[in-house]
Structure 1
Amino acid sequence: MPIPRPDSNTTNAQQTPGAPTTVVSAKPVVLSAPGRGEDLQVRVSAPATGGDLPVIVFSHGFGWSMNGYAPLADHWAAQGFVVIQPTHLDSRTLGIPAEDPRTPRMWRFRIEDLTRVLDGLDVLEASVPGLGGRLDRDRIAVAGHSWGAQSASALLGARVLGSDGVPGEDMSDPRVKAGVLFALTGLGDDLTPFAVEHLPFMRPSFETMTMPALIVAGDNDRSHLSTRGPDWFTDPYTYSPGNKALLTLFGAEHSLGGIPGYEVAETTDESPARVALIQHLSTAFLRSALHPEDTSWKTAVSALEENPSALGKLQSK
């Protein structure tokens, strides 16, 4: 099942063997963001040809930017998606200090960034040469890694518990039909003292996260923010309603084999084969979630179940 790892220095990626697909990327595309302190910078990637293209809005992990996650963004774009990557305020490229007055609300700004992208699809479409009239606005998904997964999960219906244990504001978005959540942190009952003090927004409730989602976790992902082990990252699957799938990757740590980028310093468990599996399964899931008649996911699940040397296991509900 694993597909070949794309060359990190090429603008082409493989859609099917022998059929390279040219990907066009534009950055920065700027969206006005009053009240944010600075405008929102976005990268847009899409196949050079084709129409009725579904959209993926991707939220990066802490410190990253629109320039990261090429193994995902380039692959999805080559597979026929328009991939939109906003740069959140916590990005190292912006250099905002921890004492900035916006810091306590950074998690909210992140979610608002994703909503702003959806509100600004007309601007983004018009800003990328050749993209006009090619987006399918009825087929929109969100995705994210780590903090980005938490940001994306809010648009799928997850909520943050207040100090009284009551779920806070509903920030879900009816325009979003599905999601892929990589290394999404679990419940807030087992946070370390540091996380309790400094990250009060890490108290999610998944009870209202109703949209279809693929949750990807590593069985060797141990967070310094939780007193629990790798099973913490399976909470979003365990405590959310149905229409969910859980991909548990064997031996994977927080970077899940290298989805932030090839040969980046943060990846302690680099595995091209694991990244290829993620590319393949996430694409199949999104295709089937956004196009109910598509059988890609069913085929991919069957192939994984029949593979004795599989790199992970799937559960669904």
Structure 2
Amino acid sequence: MQEMQQKPKEDRPVSKPFTEAADIPVSDPTPVMTFSPVELSTPDRMVNLQIKVSVPSKGDDLPVILLSHGHGPSNFISSLHGYGPLAHFWAAHGFVVIQPTHLDAKMLGLRESDNPEAPLYWRSRAEDMRCILDHLDQIEDTVPGLGGRLDRSRIAAVGHSLGGHTVGLLCGQKVTDPIDGTEVYLADPRIKAGVLMAAPGKGEDLAAFATERYPVLGTTNFATMTTPALVIVGENDWNPAFSDRKDWRADAYFQSPGPKSLLTLFGAEHGLGGIAAFDAKETTDENPERVAALRALVWSYLRTALYPEDSAWPTACAALTNTANPVGMIHCK
């Protein structure tokens, strides 16, 4: 057997233990139960809606996060199979996390369909989230050990990239249907708080390349997005194919009415450190500590947004500010 030659010690990458929450105070974790797929009957949809449900092993009156994946280039990350670094953490710290596979998931093979909504399926995505809320009884009955444990008055929606656009629709942003020119408003009052991660900005500043391919994004308007929300952006998340403006993805904060918060992650690109999957090759800015901070800050934000008496969010903001090397900065309005 040929022996493997070891690199000289000085050439080896430094191995450091990663942290779960980057020194942001969070609750103690519990084991997580994951059940998938749960299939919801959707007769008017091209295929039935499949979801994955992640549940803490103990606790009652559990708040809910609907987690919307991005469009993305991968076969399976942009589906119920992705975003493990976020879903598992939030479930371990007391949320029930529900992840749909939207019709634009590459694994479904529908992006090149002649459906007029292809390739983004922007309206269908929002309807998927509403469908989940309409079928919470079925979900509770299907997932072992979940029955009677949901707090249906405390529901949040979280999304990355195109998923952020989906969450924006549920929180009240408007778009114009490029097919018939009608204004579309899909806000759902059951969603009490939103988190938009690296979401598209206002339509007026969409670049010509993206406008030609994704015309609905050219109509995004945040003026009516009144649901409380946390907007998360990467400092280096800029693609001229989508906008000439480097702060374009922060528009959901600046162009919408309060209450809103903005988390800017220093040095982060569109993958925000690797939130879509563990060790995904498409992550151009892999940084486990950044992911740890992001998921802990989202947890803290949602705890206070859904439980106003909970001081998790101001405590987390103070912890971020007071650390020696903060991973980002927060603004609120």
Q: Classify the secondary structure of the residue corresponding to 1:181.
A: strand
Would the alpha carbon gap of residues 108 and 20 (structure 1) be closer, same or farther in structure 2, given more than 3 Å must change? closer
Checking the alignment, whether the CA contact within 8 Å between 1:221 and 1:229 is kept in structure 2 is: no
Would the alpha carbon gap of residues 162 and 87 (structure 1) be closer, same or farther in structure 2, given more than 3 Å must change? closer
Structure 2 counterpart of 1:185: 200
Structure 2 counterpart of 1:11: none
Q: CA-to-partner distance for each residue in 1:268-297, whole Å, 9 max, x for gaps?
A: 000011001101100000000000100000
Structure 1 counterpart of 2:125: 110
Structure 2 counterpart of 1:255: 271
The answer to whether structure 1 residue 197 and structure 2 residue 206 are counterparts is no
2:62 aligned to which of 29, 53, 64:
53
Structure 1 counterpart of 2:158: 143
1:90 aligned to which of 98, 101, 104:
104
Superposed CA RMSD: 2.0
Distance in 2, Cα, partners of 1:172 & 1:70: 27
Structure 1 counterpart of 2:44: 35
Q: Classify the secondary structure of the residue corresponding to 1:125.
A: helix
Distance in 2, Cα, partners of 1:314 & 1:15: 18
Would the alpha carbon gap of residues 20 and 217 (structure 1) be closer, same or farther in structure 2, given more than 3 Å must change? closer
Checking the alignment, whether the CA contact within 8 Å between 1:158 and 1:209 is kept in structure 2 is: yes
Q: Classify the secondary structure of the residue corresponding to 2:107.
A: coil
Q: CA-to-partner distance for each residue in 1:75-108, whole Å, 9 max, x for gaps?
A: 0000100000000011122122414325447111
Distance in 2, Cα, partners of 1:114 & 1:144: 11
Distance in 1, Cα, partners of 2:271 & 2:51: 22
Q: Classify the secondary structure of the residue corresponding to 1:61.
A: coil
Amino acid at match of 2:266: F
The 10-residue stretch of structure 1 (88-97 or 272-281) with the greater mean CA deviation from structure 2: 88-97
Q: How far is 1:20 from its partner? A: 4.6
Distance in 1, Cα, partners of 2:26 & 2:37: 26
Structure 2 counterpart of 1:24: 33
Q: How far is 1:307 from its partner? A: 2.3
Q: Classify the secondary structure of the residue corresponding to 2:59.
A: coil
The answer to whether structure 1 residue 160 and structure 2 residue 169 are counterparts is no
Identity between Structure 1 and Structure 2 (%): 49
Checking the alignment, whether the CA contact within 8 Å between 1:161 and 1:201 is kept in structure 2 is: yes
Structure 2 counterpart of 1:10: none
Would the alpha carbon gap of residues 167 and 143 (structure 1) be closer, same or farther in structure 2, given more than 3 Å must change? farther
Would the alpha carbon gap of residues 271 and 59 (structure 1) be closer, same or farther in structure 2, given more than 3 Å must change? same
The answer to whether structure 1 residue 283 and structure 2 residue 299 are counterparts is yes
Distance in 2, Cα, partners of 1:148 & 1:97: 16
The answer to whether structure 1 residue 172 and structure 2 residue 187 are counterparts is yes
Structure 2 counterpart of 1:44: 53
Q: How far is 1:193 from its partner? A: 1.9
- The gaps in structure 2 that reach 5 residues or longer are 1-17, 73-77
Q: How far is 1:162 from its partner? A: 5.6
Would the alpha carbon gap of residues 139 and 271 (structure 1) be closer, same or farther in structure 2, given more than 3 Å must change? same
Q: CA-to-partner distance for each residue in 1:181-220, whole Å, 9 max, x for gaps?
A: 1001101222222211221110211111111111000010
Structure 2 counterpart of 1:80: 94
Larger radius of gyration: 2
Amino acid at match of 2:36: K
Checking the alignment, whether the CA contact within 8 Å between 1:57 and 1:114 is kept in structure 2 is: yes
Q: CA-to-partner distance for each residue in 1:44-88, whole Å, 9 max, x for gaps?
A: 001011100000001000140001001110000001000000000
| Structure-1-length-normalised TM-score | 0.91
Q: CA-to-partner distance for each residue in 1:127-167, whole Å, 9 max, x for gaps?
A: 1000000000000000000000101111111111467xx98
Distance in 2, Cα, partners of 1:90 & 1:290: 30
| Number of residue equivalences | 305
Checking the alignment, whether the CA contact within 8 Å between 1:25 and 1:46 is kept in structure 2 is: yes
Checking the alignment, whether the CA contact within 8 Å between 1:155 and 1:176 is kept in structure 2 is: yes
Q: Classify the secondary structure of the residue corresponding to 1:55.
A: strand
Distance in 1, Cα, partners of 2:284 & 2:253: 25
